[in-house]
Amino acid sequence: MIADNPDLVTVVGIGAGGWGDLGRTERRALTSAQVVLGSTRQLALLPAEVEARRVAWPSPLLPALPGLLEEHSASRVAVLASGDPMFHGIGSTLVRLVGADRVRVLPHPSSVALAAARLGWPLATTEVVSLVTADPAVVRRGLNPGRRLLVLARDAGTPAVVAELVATAGFGSAQLTVLEQLGGPSERIVSGTAASWEHPPGDPLNVIAIDCGPVGPATSIVPGLVDSAYETDGQLTKREVRAVTLAVLAPVPGELLWDVGAGSGSIGIEWMRSHPSCRAIAVESAAERVATIATNAAKLGVPGLKVVTGRAPGALAGLPAPDAIFIGGGVTRDGVLDACLSALRPGGRLVANAVTVESEAVLAAAHAELGGNLIRLSVSRGAPVGGFTGWKTMMPVTIWSVTR
């Protein structure tokens, strides 16, 4: 059994330079192994002196990995990983599956470290984005004037996709540099601007460097984006109310939000923009708004927002337990508030907004029974009055928040 072998797996990081770049410890781990697991490309880098049985990863890998490890549990197993196994690599997956005490990791410089060294970019101030499995739209979250990003490519076609995305986002003058086969004998570096990118697909093993430069639209990660950042049919939590609502929801890295009655998706989107590890599920009953939510999420760099089409409380059944819930619509519907309160994890936060007398009554009753906090916001925006400026007052919003 897997659990019976405390030395189950040794993970060896290997670069494009192959066997010649490995140290004595890494070579010994591979020559003493009975089974070596890795991609076909990685296995081909090993010389004949590595006599272990070579097993190429199946596709898809993740569902097959537990069974593969079980199959070879009686053998000394080594796993090949690209660069640093704990940086967007198989090492993290193995630790999650079998525990850190059963995984020995021998890292190699990652492609990101090599790219930063070639470019002279300090990694501490450079954002790293992986597109190995993610939607390319996640790059949009990191685009801002003066920012630099290193993007791990999925394949040879990724640079062209990223160039088009960056240019479409308003950063056509951004400098793109594609670094292929870093550290290997076939290393190659090509550059150009996002708007004029014409390089044909090269090697699938590449990193894309994006220097946004000084020109381009600035997008804050602080809650309260301008309303015009969203496509909407009018069902949008307005900027000022959205900023206060998200402050009360208090996003924490890694937490999951339910955005119930999501409208245009702004609350879930800005929750996810607060940190790359924040997750959200938007629940919306109107099919046309579901499409709008997906469009807004991709445009603002969080395509991982999950959208559920349906009406609460029925649509909430089977969803993973949330750390926080926002009810932006449907609070007067029977069972919605109770279902949301029951679903919250211990210590979770629920925030509900109301603009009608009927929905306010529901929140007032909930506050009387469960406590929490009530806030009433009244926002006025300056607007033309003839040749002068006056105040245009929006509908007041009542916000109830409670911690389970």
Residue-wise pLDDT for 143-172, tens only, equals 999 999 999 999 999 999 999 999 999 999
**Residue range 17-53, pLDDT digits in tens:** 999 999 999 999 999 999 999 999 999 999 999 999 9
Task: Give the CATH fold of the 112-211 domain.
Answer: 3.30.950
Q: How far is CA 67 from CA 2, 35, 57, 62, 108, in A?
A: 10, 15, 12, 10, 27
Mean pLDDT, range 358-377, rounded to an integer: 97
- What Cα–Cα distance (Å) separates residue 92 from each residue in 40, 98, 295? 20, 10, 32
- The pTM of this model reads 0.90
Strand order in the sheet with 256-260: 306-309, 279-284, 256-260, 324-327, 349-354, 397-403, 373-377
Give CATH superfamily name and number for 227-403.
Answer: Vaccinia Virus protein VP39 (3.40.50.150)
* Model confidence band, residue 7 (pLDDT cutoffs 50, 70, 90): low
Q: 192-218: per-residue pLDDT in tens?
A: 999 999 999 999 999 999 999 999 999
- Report domain extents, the chain: 2-108, 112-211, 227-403
CATH architecture of 2-108: 3-Layer(aba) Sandwich (3.40)
Asked if the domains 112-211 and 227-403 are classified in one and the same CATH topology, the answer is no
User: What is residue 86's predicted lDDT score, i.e. its pLDDT?
Assistant: 95
